[in-house]
Chains A and B, each alone.
Chain A
Amino acid sequence: MTAPLLSVRGLCKRYGAIDACRDISFALEEGEALAIVGESGSGKTTLLNLVAGALQADSGEVVYRMRDGAARALSSLSEAERRALMRTDWGFVHQDASRGLRMNVSAGGNIGERLMAIGDRHYGRIRAAALDWLARVEIAAQRVDDPPSTYSGGMRQRLQIARNLVTGPRLVFMDEPTGGLDVSVQARLLDLLRGLIADMGLAAIIVTHDLAVARLLSHRMLVMKQGEVIESGLTDRVLDDPQAPYTQLLVSSVLAA
């Protein structure tokens, strides 16, 4: 049996007296989408950043199965190896698109940059890939030379997704990918993400406070409260038959539209 794509073991992170993440362990298989839910301050974004290597954990480890099949602890990677991983096999979709895009570089340049970073120098090929990805995220080809600073919120988010997926990653981290968008824009983005995750066989870790987003995008869920995972399981099971008091509160607090 091969190792999971990603194993997280005993991750801990403290900020002063506060446990932002306490002894968190889980595994993720290829093609599996995991949602991390909980209210603001529950530690879900901290956990995402710890797993993605954007934050240093106090203890615990993250092991990733590289493309060559070797399972490596992230802490054992050199800085160059870690950056290469972030640019090729991983994606990170930020809630604030301006953190994931170069706002004054053309859309085509934003997508092409990831390809150039892994050594592609063929202008025609990069341009073609950029146009192909703009189409896949439903952005008109004539906007390819415009910078995202001229785009709407929903378009920026879709461009950020294109930029992340152009290198064919196996794992994508998402921090509130639909946060701050209008509801109609959210639906389009969610549908797009759902299709891409399924078609590309992507593994994903999605932080969201929106249970409907978790239901639509994820196979499994972790529910966090005060830095701890208090419930986990199949997404529809956790939402339809929540066991922990806090999960019952979360589920029953959602207004049905």
Chain B
Amino acid sequence: MSALVPNELLRVESLAKTFTLHLHDGALLSVVHGVSFSVMAGECVVLGGPSGVGKSSILKMVSGNYLAGEGRILVADGERVVDVARAAPREILDLRRRVVGSVSQFLRVIPRVAALDIVAAAAQEAGLDREGSRARAAALLARLRLPEALWRLPPATFSGGEQQRVNVARGFAGAHRLLVLDEPTASLDADNREAVIELIAERKAEGAGFLAIFHDEDVRARVADRIVDVSRFSDREAA
């Protein structure tokens, strides 16, 4: 197994994904194949290409949410290298707590849990103590300009943009070295997009690496160090 080079946080090698749709006569839906790229410390790599080309599927494989078909997903964990494509569930959970953070397109709300508690729980999972976690959560929600009156409420009744800010705060609450972002700014207004761009820039300066999808051209131009065009790995005709 080839080791990662210094400062390499993620290396995806010959990754492929095909869905087998057993409820539709076992139809095979090939998504991507031969996906290879790296993410270095301090770098933001943005996946490009039209809708339906497999960008989200790649992110989901990297965070262990989708099963990788073929290939390897090597993640640096200090001196260790973990292949997410083959890791046991327990190892993936451990990686998610400490190493690979993510922000999905939508917040999955949990009944009765307050916005501040959702974000603080993520900070605590990543190793902060109880007090520190709450302070960090409050600081992030303030930066993302979520009205303080909402902090103690469960986000189920929040607007899409408000929920998404809780989601972003949760993703940034830990000290993950690799962050996987799936359109984190899609439902945000200009000022809030700005706040997210700043958060990304700060974490890059601290040495974190990003793998992201942004449809917003402006955001992409400002945060992307490199764009990987997924069309060349896709088996699908562009939509």
The verdict on B74 contacting chain A, using a C-beta distance below 8 Å, is: no
Residues of A near B110 (CB, < 8 A) are: 191, 194, 216
Residues of B near A219 (CB, < 8 A) are: 89-90, 93
Residues of A near B19 (CB, < 8 A) are: 241
The verdict on B65 contacting chain A, using a C-beta distance below 8 Å, is: yes
A245/B23 in contact, CB under 8 A? yes
Name the one of B23, B92, B121 contacting A234, with C-beta atoms under 8 angstroms.
B92
Residues of B near A190 (CB, < 8 A) are: 111
Task: Count how many chain B residues have C-beta atoms less than 8 Å from C-beta atoms of the other chain.
Answer: 19
- In the complex, how many angstroms separate the beta carbon of A182 from the nearest chain B beta carbon? 13
B113/A191 in contact, CB under 8 A? yes
The verdict on A44 contacting chain B, using a C-beta distance below 8 Å, is: no
- In the complex, how many angstroms separate the beta carbon of A243 from the nearest chain B beta carbon? 7
A240/B111 in contact, CB under 8 A? no
The verdict on B222 contacting chain A, using a C-beta distance below 8 Å, is: no
Q: Which residue of A lies closest to B24 (CB)?
A: A248
The verdict on B66 contacting chain A, using a C-beta distance below 8 Å, is: yes
B65/A245 in contact, CB under 8 A? no
The verdict on A65 contacting chain B, using a C-beta distance below 8 Å, is: no
Residues of B near A236 (CB, < 8 A) are: 65
Q: Which residue of B lies closest to A248 (CB)?
A: B22
Interface residues of B in 89-128 (CB under 8 A from A): 89-90, 92-93, 110-113, 121
B64/A234 in contact, CB under 8 A? yes
Residues of A near B67 (CB, < 8 A) are: 233, 237, 241, 243
Residues of A near B121 (CB, < 8 A) are: 198
B-contact 0/1 string along A238-251, CB 8 Å cutoff: 00110111001100
What 20 new A-B contacts, CB under 8 Å, besides A191-B113, A234-B92, A234-B93?
A: A187-B111, A190-B111, A191-B112, A216-B110, A219-B89, A220-B89, A220-B90, A233-B67, A234-B64, A237-B64, A237-B67, A237-B89, A240-B60, A240-B66, A241-B19, A241-B66, A241-B67, A244-B22, A245-B23, A248-B22
**Sample (12) of A-B pairs whose CB atoms are under 8 Å apart:** A187-B112, A188-B112, A190-B111, A198-B121, A219-B90, A234-B93, A237-B67, A241-B60, A241-B67, A243-B20, A243-B67, A249-B22
